[in-house]
A and B are shown apart, each in its own frame.
Chain A
Amino acid sequence: MEAAARTANGGGRSDAARLVDDDRVHRDAYVDAAVFARELCTFWASTWQYLGHASQVPNAGDVVTVELAGRPLMLVRSSDGTLNVLFNRCAHKGTKLVDDERANVGRHFRCPYHAWTYALDGKPLGVPLREGYEGTRLASCSSGGGLAPIRHVAVHRDFVFVKLGDSGPSFAEYFGDALAALDLLADRSPVGRLEVAGGVLRTMVRCNWKIYLENINDTVHPMATHESAVAAARSVWGDRPEAAEKPMAMEQILPFGAPFEFFDKMGARVYPNGHSVLGTRHSIHSGYGRLPEYEAAMRAVYGEARAAEILEHAPQNAVLYPSLAVKGSPQSIRVIRPLAVDRTLVEAWSFRAVGAPDVLLERTQTYNRLVFSPMSIVAHDDLHLFESIQHGLAAEGNPWVSLHRGHREGEELQRVQDINGTNELLMRNQFRAWARFVALDDEVAP
């Protein structure tokens, strides 16, 4: 089906959806600032975004601030232990209540501008010169209602998600079985609990967010893209026998040189709404050293079958579209934030699996540092290419980005579909979701 035929009503919104064909994407999806502006109002407001992890706000009054699709938000722990998500904007004149990335505000918020105060759930507490508001319409205005909450918040295994607008599916419907990736990550802990640990590596990439996200599912690039890093690792590691115990860094970098066949056979699964798991059979993380004591403890807690499922699940990446990419081993997630049509923030977070040996966190931090740090030699070649694409798409003559690999006429998305690891259905699936949600009505803007 031609994309153009799908869009009934003309105008800006449906124009964006028109950019996606079954097997290719128009460059404007990546480079057109008007499309990006539309995305912020529709796509990013009608899909579920990862906001943060409950372990970031362990105590009452703890706050983390997040800028999500252009909106300043706060994740807040209330005195009764519940989590609130509020807009970080004073109801009076718009001042941000919290400037730091992390803070503890005590028992209430207090605006530094005119001292308006709010409870931890955002309800208004007090304003100075109360008598000046007598007989005014403040109480009936949203300015009198306190800090605006995000209405759609869902927490799964301590991972906090939000949907900014009222359009789009419910949390359960949106993610469906793809949420199992978070269960498998959290269950790496024998007590089923994760804690963020050791800081977050942040990279500013001068490309559209979709380029970064597609690459998370791109198994065909490592051989060419990472040739220099792999060749350097091999030259330093030398001719040591296959069985020689590798330092952690070598254990993590050398598998980037695996052949196409390895990546093709790793297998993948796509879900409705853009989600996916890449590496359903194996991945570059499968060969990390075994930990017999930990594995025995896991079997004791979870039983043989579930323990095997957890321990053998080390996908290349599971994508909870569009803001989160999850690994299982290492316990690493990447968070993707759109900043501008040609600017994306990528954060790499490490988790401690509570009750698991320290070496798992060490692996995670080492992997994130070697592969996702702004100083990573593996990432340098990726980032360079993403920025190169952003510039290259300014070329005329061919407006299309090809996603033809593995496409078959009449390809439809089933509830769950297993495919080979090099099939670009992993990206086509993302764009089908994008085309659907970018065309929804904007219910966020006033």
Chain B
Amino acid sequence: MTANGASFGHELEALVGDEAMLLDAGRFDDWLALWDAEARYWVPLAGAAQPDDERGQSLADEDRMLLELRVARLRHPRAHSLRPRVACQHVLQRSRVEHATADAATLVTPFVYVEVQGANELMLAGRARHRLVRLASGWKIREKRVDLLGAERPLPAVQLFV
């Protein structure tokens, strides 16, 4: 398989698709296993307008430790904000491979995210940019940057991972 081959692109897109599928299925441990040790899950407050290198504010900016903390909380029996049950659905547009070598790739994926709890429904739209790296164990997510449309508007609690 080469960096230019069609199957290579499919493998990367499949990883992005799996990432969303595992969140929607609530399989958070399997989801965490997709991430590199140097993980960054980043939802900048200014959305797409926020430069990569700017130390601005973020809705979320989490390393591996904080992602593990988040997942540990989701499992906790007294995480009462999750009652009634919270569920999410990612609807992904086809990913565009922005950059790819044999060991690193960047994919951009427009999405719609719906989170439902009881009678409340929250819909967010935006673009996710996955930075993937190939390790001995296979391709992993090093960074997922989520640029929300209208990220700075007042939002209710967004409880799962966009």
Contact = CB atoms under 8 A, between A and B. Distances in A.
Same complex: yes
Interface of A: 198-206, 224-225, 227-229, 231-233, 235-236, 247, 249-250, 253, 345, 350, 362, 365, 368-369, 373-375, 377, 379-381, 383-385
Contacts of A232: 69-70, 72-73, 76
A202 B72 contact: no
B38 to A, nearest CB: 14
Interface string B42-63: 0101100000000111111100
Nearest to A366: B61
B80 interface: yes
Interface of B: 43, 45-46, 55-61, 65-66, 68-70, 72-73, 76-81, 152-159
B157 A380 contact: yes
Given A201-B45, A228-B80, A384-B157, A377 B57 contact: no
A228 B76 contact: yes
A350 B57 CA distance: 9
Give the one of B57, B60, B78, B155 with max A CB within 10 A: B57
A281 to B, nearest CB: 29
Contacts of A247: 65
A373 B72 CA distance: 19
A411 B110 CA distance: 59
Contacts of B79: 228, 380-381
A377 B69 contact: yes
A201 B80 contact: no
Nearest to A235: B72
12 contacts: A198-B55, A201-B59, A202-B155, A204-B154, A228-B73, A228-B76, A229-B73, A231-B73, A231-B78, A236-B68, A345-B154, A365-B57
Contacts of A225: 80
B158 A199 contact: no
Given A205-B156, A228-B78, A198 B59 contact: no
A201 B73 contact: no
A203 B156 contact: yes
A369 B58 contact: yes
Given A232-B73, A381-B79, A383-B81, A375 B158 contact: yes
B81 A384 contact: yes
Given A201-B59, A369-B61, A375-B60, A383 B157 contact: yes
A362 B58 CA distance: 12
Contacts of B155: 202-204, 374
A206 B117 CA distance: 14
B160 to A, nearest CB: 10
Contacts of B81: 380-381, 383-385
Given A206-B156, A236-B72, A375-B157, 18 more contacts: A198-B55, A199-B45, A200-B57, A201-B57, A201-B59, A228-B78, A231-B72, A231-B76, A233-B69, A249-B66, A249-B69, A250-B65, A365-B55, A369-B60, A375-B158, A377-B69, A383-B81, A384-B81
